[in-house]
Every structure is written in C-alpha cells, then in structure tokens.
Amino acid sequence: MSLKIVVLAKQVPDTRNVGPDAMTPEGTVNRSALPAIFNPEDLNALEQALRLKDQNPGTTVIVLTMGPGRAAEIIREAMYRGADGGYLLTDRAFAGADTLATSYALATAIKHVQPDVDLIIGGRQAIDGDTAQVGPQVAEKLGLNQITYSEEILSCKDGKIVVKRHIDGGVETVESPLPCVITVNGSAAPCRPRNSKLVMKFKRAKAPMELVPETTFADLPYADLYEKRPYLKLGQLNCADVNADLQQCGLAGSPTKVKTVQNIVFKAKESKVLTGSDEDVNGLIQELLASHTIG
Amino acid sequence: MANYYNDIKEIKFELENSPLMERIVELKERSFEDKDQYDEAPQDFADAMDSYDKVLDIVGDITANVIAPNAEDVDAEGPHLEKGRVTYASKTYENLDNMIKAGMNGLTMPRRYGGLNLPVTVYTAANEIVSAGDAGFENIWSLQDCIETLFCFGNEEQRQKYIPRVCKGETMSMDLTEPDAGSDLQSVMLKASYDEDNKCWRLNGSKRFITNGDSDIHLVLARSEAGTRDGRGLSMFIYDKRDGGVDVRRIENKLGIHGSPTCELVYKNAKCELCGDRKLGLIKYVMSLMNGARLGIAAQSVGLSQAAYNEAVAYARDRKQFGKAIIEFPAVAEMISNIKARLDAGRALLYQTARYVDIYKALEDISRDRKLTPEERAELKKYSRLADAFTPLAKGMNSEYANQNGYDCIQIHGGSGFMLEYACQRIYRDARITSIYEGTTQLQTVAAIRYVTNGFYSTVIEDFEQQDVASEYKEFQVRIKEMTQKYNACVASVKEASDQDFHDICARHLYEMAADVIMCHLLLQNATKAPELFVKSLQVYLNYAEAEVGKHGTWINRMSISQLDNYRQS
C-alpha cells in the first residue's frame, strides 16, 4: 500500500551543546552563538516515515518546515536521507508565532500540499520551546486522530496503523484508522545517516528564499542544472499560497504573551538528611506538594 | 557535533593541496562523461572536490557518532562462531548498517555498477577516518577494496554479478594464507579442480588467518595446476557464499582488532569461479590485491596514529601532577610532539602514495577501453613505478609509527594506560598487527630495496629538491640535503661490498633512511603551503629524522662483512 506522508520538521538552535555565550544578557537564546540543527526528535520522526517508505513502494515522504530561508537546510537534510521533497513555509506574517499560530499555519499548508495525506509525522517536541503542543494541535485543526509519544510503527496496512507508545512505566500499543497524526519520542530508532549519492544529487537544491535578493536560479552557478533537474528547486509557500487567514498567523494569531523571563539560579541554602523510611518519604511528598514543587 | 573528518584539518589539506589532484579527477571521471547520465556525478573538478568533501563529512559523522562510541563494546564482545557461521559483535551490525545506508560501499567502483567512482585517494581518507574510530571495524569495512581486483581481472559477467552486490553492502575477504603458506604464498596448497560434470571449479582444503572469513564474496588463491609446487601453479577464484561449501572451523583469539573475525576455513568441494587467467593467481592478481591492501593498512595505521595522538593530548591536558597539567612537562610534550610529527609525516607519505596509485590505476582502466596515447603510456609507466616504490614505504613506516605512537600514548597515560579502562590500550593492541599483516615490515623492505639499490628513490628525492619552498625554509632544505648525502653514501658503501647477506642485513636501515628523507621533503612542501598546520611538525620531524638517519648511518658504517657471523643465531 503506497502512503502519502508529511513529516513536520523544525530547524532549532542546538541547545544541547551550549557554550558560555548561549544566552543573551536579557535571558533570551542567543541564536547566533548556537548552530542551527534539525530538531532531534523530528529526525526520529523522519526515520519512522522512511521505514514506511522502505516497506511500501510508491510511498512519498514530503517534509514541511516553517522558518526563514535558511530553514530550507532541513528539507535538504531530509532529502539526503531519503525524503522525496519538501516545502518551506515562509512569510513575514508567520513571524512571532506561538504553538497555536504555528499549528494553524502547518495544518493549512498540509491541506494545500497534500490534501489526501495518510500520515503526518513529527517529533514529540522541539528542543527550543519544549512544548510538545504543535503535533497535537495540528491533529485537532485537521480533525484527525493523534498518537503521541510514539516509539515504533508496528504496522501500517488496510487503512490502519498500529503504534507502540512510550508511556510512564511502560509501553502501550494502540491502533488508529488513517489518516492520523503521530508524534515521535526521542527513544525511537535514531535516524539513518545521510546517503552519499543523495547528498551528491541534492546538494545544490535551493528554495527561492535562499537566493540573494534580486537574483534568480539563472544567476546561480551551474544554472542549467536547475532547468534540467526540477527537483533542485525546493517548494516554497507563503501565507497567500496556502490561503491562510492573517488573523490566525504569526503574532496576531498567538494568544501566548511572554510577560517576563527570569534566569534560574540554583542556590542550595540548607540541606536536610532523610532516611528511606516510609515516614520520611511521606513527609517529603507532603512538603513538596505543599510547596507546589510537584503535583 | 564531533566529526572525525572535519575536526582534522590535515586530512582535508592532503586531499586539496596536491597539483596531481586535478589530473586524478580528470582521469577518474574521464573528462566528466557521466555528468548528464548520473544525477550524482560531478560537473567539473571543483564540483567533484566538493562532493568528496561531503562524502567524507558523512564518514566523519558516522565514525564520531556511531563507530567510535561502539568501539569499546565491539572490542569486548568480539565475533561468535556457531555451526560454521560467524556472527559479528552486535554493535558491528549497527556500524555496518549505518555505512550501508550512507552508501559507503564500492566507493571506488564505476557508477554503472552502483559505485561512487571515488579516487583511491578519497577512499584512503575514508579508511583513515574509520580506523581512527575503530581499527577493527575498519578491517571488515575496508575489505570492500578486494572488489578492485575483481573489477580489474574478472570478466564482464563477473563484474556485473558481483560489483553491484558489494556496492549494496555485501562484504568481502581475500583467502590467501594457509598454515604452511604465510609470507611464502608460493606454498599455497588449497586444491582447485575442474568438475567436468557440472562445468565448474571446486575448492578443497583449508585456509587460516582469513580476515572476515565468513564474508559474502571471497577471492581465493588456490592451486589449479596439479603437480606444481610454486607460484606458477596458482590461480585466483571467486567463491560466492550463496553457493555454500565453505565453513568456518574456528575464530582466532587475538591480541587486537577484536571486532574483526579472523577465521580458519574449510572448503568442502566448494563451487567457485575462475577469476582471470589460470596460473596468474599469485604472480599477477595477488600482487595487485596486496598492493591495494597495503595502502589500506597504511591508511589504517595513520588512523590509529591519529587516535593515539587524540587520546594522548586529551589525557595530558586533563591529568594534573605537581600542580599542573602533565602536557606542560617537556618530557611529556616531547613525546606528544613526536607522535604528531610522525603522524603528519606518515600521512603525507600515505596520500602521496595514494595519488600515484590513482593516476596509474585510472590510466590502466582507460587502457581497457581504448589505446593509450604515447604520452599516456609514459605517464602510466611513471606513476605505476612510483606507486610500486612508495607503497611499501607507506605501509611499513606508517605501521611501525602506529606501534610507536600507541606505545607512547600508553606511556603518557602512566599507570592508567596499563589498565584496560582507557582507549589507549585498545589502540596499542590494534596497532600491533599493522606491521605484520599484508606483508611484514621485513617484507616491505624486500619490496622496496630494489628502489634503493637502483637509485630510484635518490632520483625521486632529487626531484623533490627542485620544488619551491618558502624562502625562510631554505635552511630546512639544506638539512634534508645533508641527510640525503648520508643516505646516498650508505647506499654506495653497501653496494660496493657486493655481498648478499651484508646487503640484506643493511636493507632495513637503508629503507628507513630513504623513507625518512622522503617524508621530510613531503612535510616541507606541506609546510610551505600551510605553515599554520605543519611548521611545527616539520621541525620536530626534521630533528627526529636527522637522529634516525644518523643512527642508521652509524650502524651501516660500523657494520662489515666480517661481523655477519655475530648476527647468525642458531
């Protein structure tokens, strides 16, 4: 059974390898000091999609990413690993989007590029925002089932998908009819490496946004290749292309407002020694509940 | 993220900074005839170099993030044998799976068979990189270059049958050694006989010390001419594991390269195919196979030296004694500097050799399709000879350096180095085989010595002396010339003695002197182009090489025919 799969992927600052200049004095992420990478759990998601493609001839895997021109790198990285192509969703009107506006933009774009999609797969969450909200919100906006915290797609046939989920204290196997949205956990199989032939084939692929302003593909080195090989021109969509409602995009569509940002300072003032007795453990639980540290 | 290619600028320098590279790419790509036929083929020289860089970036990534982190577990677990079949250490499969998915097989094979058509020089870099992560795994993976021999000497049907399979990730082995035929391969006794009923060849007998002996496709040296006893009765065969008939009797328990299964094989009427012509197995095909394999071991050795350097520096920076990091003590710093100097010098020799191999192999390949022009024939002859002369130097010197560097790396770790917790002990153990297999250093000397006595190395050195160097480095050039004079004087005195035993006992000394001088020149050329990378190593290596050349010169001057008896042990 051939499938139409859309992978949602995001370019994020590499918050796992932070140096001393990773934060600005104002407490926001200093994006210029951190390399931009493929969000790690989106790579796990891509791998699940590529495995379905391996097993189901004729399957297409399309990557959808929202961001500025440089985010097209995510599409290339996915194509180096076996994705068929992708779209860069880019527009000034998308800037400043919170998770609600982001999921609106993505859902609208999916309806446009793959109206008869079978599966939408994304990472559980991005390492910059850590919200885990975008996948589920996309599912809601499209009116689809969702399977979160997925670890492995066990089977996908006859219009049904069976997925192993990672839950507290174990795993759960669930089944859903297609189409549906799946978010993949970091504990799933790591993504396959870039393939040398695909890298050589797609290394010059570009989205229009990446071109120097006022230039065209005809001004690039090896310009004739862009004519001969259409796959080298990556898909690009703006607000108007996907008929998005401007009121639901970007800052306008984002109810989340950041009021203040505070730096966390770890300071232990005093310490307490507890034994492993039930009494001490219960006491600690009560204390932590009272201080709203847990619960 | 760590990357074993991008993190080591010297590798990229070696790839990009030779005037020979443009010629190599032109020949290998046959003036870019694939550019419209294959989407992945380069459009021109710059495009090819960019693609090589990107391929090696993937190799460096997989090595840093999969192969190197798995190395300790692979070393501890090793392969298993059950019912005549080998199972690799579990993480070896993870390594292989990554390399296959990345398309890192059949790297040098033409695109029409599914390969990447990379020059040997680029493949050599990949080898070096993987080896720095895990030399034992590199052993299995790099046996893919046996396919070069099948490509050169097999018929078109065999090429079409086997090369695409190797490009998809099937593994190879070269079945040469037997219990009574190690260095002396003329004594191979594995019997090949023609089965008239089934119109095929059959193999019967056994082989020993076969690296990756349960591979998918074997190249086998066997005696096809009944009644013969020397190399002229041997032919080369292809055994396909899918046909069955070869079992693994035992996996050796080794000092190092634990990830790589070393097997004893039993051939029970195993069906096989003749590769090339009868009787040319040893004298033509195995020699070709061995030259490729020797370059591979030279690359493996350089990778190990790089790993030894990395571990030594990391530990010496971290370890504090007497209130400071031990890297600050001159005695430790000297050891580390010498490791780096031998690494840079050996690497320069490795890539120079690889480039020579590339040119002659590419021309040889072209000659199978069309007649070469007289200029091309002269070029083929020139580079074929250079490759033949440089391969034993690159293999012998780098393998000895890998051993020395592994030894010094442990020394820098002190008592901790003797414990099995640190990677240095694995590097030290893995390095030990490099100066033994694919021809011991003593046999590399045998292969090289004719180029000492016929003056070929001296001619090459004279050519190197003509190359431009930075004006501030002229004094270094003078020092190298002084070493060359010592070398030439020693060669003359040994030749003058006209005694075979005397000649043989001096051979290793002369071999090393020639190699030392050549490496000094190569480093001088590198430092002229990229002083920031090489000027320290150049000067450290010059001091080191001068001491070595002096030592060998003194030994040869002291040595005399009358002393030969002192060296005869019974």
In this structure, what are the phi and psi dihedrals at residue B524, rounded to the nearest 5 degrees? -65, -40
State how far residue A144 is from chain B, nearest Cα, in angstroms. 33
Quote the CA–CA distance of A3 and B86 in Å, as a whole number. 38
State how far residue B283 is from chain A, nearest Cα, in angstroms. 36
- The confidence score (pLDDT) of residue A28 equals 65
State how far residue B137 is from chain A, nearest Cα, in angstroms. 18
| Nearest residue in B to A193, CA atom | B102
B178: which DSSP letter? B
pLDDT, chain A, mean: 92
- The confidence score (pLDDT) of residue B570 equals 84
| Nearest residue in B to A14, CA atom | B1
- As a whole number, mean pLDDT of residues B101-118 equals 97
| pLDDT exceeds cutoff 80 at B121 | yes
- The confidence score (pLDDT) of residue A251 equals 87
Question: Is the minimum CB–CB distance between A17 and chain B shorter than 8 Å?
Answer: yes
Quote the CA–CA distance of A179 and A76 in Å, as a whole number. 26
Q: Which residues pair with A5 in a beta bridge?
A: A61, A119
Q: At A213, is the secondary structure helix, strand, or coil?
A: coil
- The confidence score (pLDDT) of residue B70 equals 98
| pLDDT exceeds cutoff 90 at A34 | no
B185: which DSSP letter? G
The answer to whether residues B528 and B473 touch, using CB atoms and an 8 Å cutoff, is yes
- As a whole number, mean pLDDT of residues B292-304 equals 97
| Nearest residue in A to B44, CA atom | A222
Where residue B278 falls (left for φ over 0; alpha for ψ -120 to 50; beta otherwise) is: beta
pTM above 0.90, yes or no: yes
Give A5-23 as a DSSP string.
Answer: EEEE--EEE-TTS--TTSB
- Report the largest interatomic distance among the alpha carbons of chain A, rounded to a whole angstrom: 77
- The confidence score (pLDDT) of residue B194 equals 97
Tens digit of each residue's pLDDT (9 = 90 or more) over B460-486: 999 999 999 999 999 999 999 999 999
Cβ within 8 Å, pair A17-B47? no
State how far residue B116 is from chain A, nearest Cα, in angstroms. 7
The answer to whether residues B528 and B349 touch, using CB atoms and an 8 Å cutoff, is no
The torsion defined by the Cα of A253, A255, A260 and A262, in degrees rounded to 10, comes to -90
- As a whole number, mean pLDDT of residues B167-192 equals 94
Looking at residue A67, its amino acid is G
Tens digit of each residue's pLDDT (9 = 90 or more) over B348-357: 999 999 999 9
- The confidence score (pLDDT) of residue A241 equals 96
| Sign of the dihedral defined by the CA atoms of residues B396, B401, B406, B411, in that order | positive
Where residue A118 falls (left for φ over 0; alpha for ψ -120 to 50; beta otherwise) is: alpha
A289 in any annotated domain: no
Q: At B174, is the secondary structure helix, strand, or coil?
A: strand
- The confidence score (pLDDT) of residue B84 equals 96
| pLDDT exceeds cutoff 80 at B104 | yes
A180 in any annotated domain: yes
Give the residue numbers of B marked as catalytic: 438
Host domain of residue A217: 4-253
The torsion defined by the Cα of B446, B451, B454 and B456, in degrees rounded to 10, comes to 180
For residue B297, give the nearest of B354, B253, B244 by alpha carbon: B354
* Site of tokens 């306008």: A252
A294 in any annotated domain: no
The answer to whether residues B506 and B564 touch, using CB atoms and an 8 Å cutoff, is no
- The confidence score (pLDDT) of residue A120 equals 98
Quote the CA–CA distance of B250 and B148 in Å, as a whole number. 28
Interface with A, mutate which of B47, B95, B118 (most A CBs under 10 A): B47
Quote the CA–CA distance of B394 and B14 in Å, as a whole number. 15
**Helices B287-318 and B423-432, packing angle to 10 deg:** 160
Any idea what the CATH number is for the domain that residue A121 is in?
3.40.50.620
The answer to whether residues A73 and A36 touch, using CB atoms and an 8 Å cutoff, is yes
B469: which DSSP letter? -
- The confidence score (pLDDT) of residue A27 equals 63
pLDDT, chain B, mean: 97
| pLDDT exceeds cutoff 90 at B371 | yes
Span of A22-36, B99-113, B264-278, B387-401 with lowest mean pLDDT: A22-36
Tens digit of each residue's pLDDT (9 = 90 or more) over A126-161: 988 888 999 999 999 999 999 999 999 999 999 999
- Number of domains composing chain A: 1
- As a whole number, mean pLDDT of residues B320-333 equals 97
| pLDDT exceeds cutoff 80 at B264 | yes
Cβ within 8 Å, pair A193-B40? no
Residues of B in contact with A225 (CB under 8 A): 43
A266 in any annotated domain: no
Buried b (16+ CB within 10 A) or exposed e, B50-70: bbbbebbbbbbbbbbbbbbeb
- The confidence score (pLDDT) of residue A26 equals 64
Quote the CA–CA distance of B234 and B189 in Å, as a whole number. 9
Give how far the C-alpha of residue B117 lies from the chain's centroid of Cα atoms, to the nearest Å: 19
Cβ within 8 Å, pair A225-B43? yes
- The confidence score (pLDDT) of residue A1 equals 81
| pLDDT exceeds cutoff 80 at B265 | yes
Buried b (16+ CB within 10 A) or exposed e, B187-224: bbebebeeeeeeeebbbebbbbbbbbbbbbbbbbbbbb
- The confidence score (pLDDT) of residue B18 equals 92
The answer to whether residues B556 and B510 touch, using CB atoms and an 8 Å cutoff, is yes
A247: which DSSP letter? G
- As a whole number, mean pLDDT of residues B224-232 equals 94
| pLDDT exceeds cutoff 90 at B291 | no
Residues of A in contact with B169 (CB under 8 A): none
Report residue A265's pLDDT band, with 50, 70 and 90 as the boundaries.
confident
What the block records as the tokens of B35 is 């550019």
Cβ within 8 Å, pair B103-A203? no
Looking at residue A271, its amino acid is S
In this structure, what are the phi and psi dihedrals at residue B265, rounded to the nearest 5 degrees? -115, 145
Question: Is the minimum CB–CB distance between A200 and chain B shorter than 8 Å?
Answer: yes
| Nearest residue in A to B66, CA atom | A193
Interface with B, mutate which of A191, A192, A200, A229 (most B CBs under 10 A): A200
What Rg value do the Cα atoms of chain A yield, rounded? 22
The answer to whether residues B116 and B103 touch, using CB atoms and an 8 Å cutoff, is yes
- As a whole number, mean pLDDT of residues B543-547 equals 98
A176 in any annotated domain: yes
Where residue A222 falls (left for φ over 0; alpha for ψ -120 to 50; beta otherwise) is: left
Cβ within 8 Å, pair B61-A225? no
| pLDDT exceeds cutoff 90 at B545 | yes
Q: Across the interface, which of B47, B61, B102 has its CB nearest the CB of A195?
A: B102
| pLDDT exceeds cutoff 70 at B309 | yes
- As a whole number, mean pLDDT of residues A33-58 equals 95
| Sign of the dihedral defined by the CA atoms of residues A235, A240, A244, A250, in that order | positive
What the block records as the tokens of B378 is 């002269």
| Nearest residue in B to A231, CA atom | B39
- As a whole number, mean pLDDT of residues A276-280 equals 89
Tens digit of each residue's pLDDT (9 = 90 or more) over A224-261: 999 999 999 999 999 999 999 999 999 889 998 888 77
* CATH topology for the B447-567 domain: Four Helix Bundle (Hemerythrin (Met), subunit A) (1.20.120)
A196 in any annotated domain: yes
Quote the CA–CA distance of B379 and B392 in Å, as a whole number. 21
Cβ within 8 Å, pair A229-B102? no
Q: Which residues pair with A36 in a beta bridge?
A: A13
Q: Who has greater pLDDT, A272 or A145? A: A145
- The confidence score (pLDDT) of residue A192 equals 98
Question: Is the minimum CB–CB distance between A223 and chain B shorter than 8 Å?
Answer: no
The answer to whether residues A44 and A189 touch, using CB atoms and an 8 Å cutoff, is yes
In this structure, what are the phi and psi dihedrals at residue B363, rounded to the nearest 5 degrees? -65, -40
State how far residue B98 is from chain A, nearest Cα, in angstroms. 6
| pLDDT exceeds cutoff 70 at A108 | yes
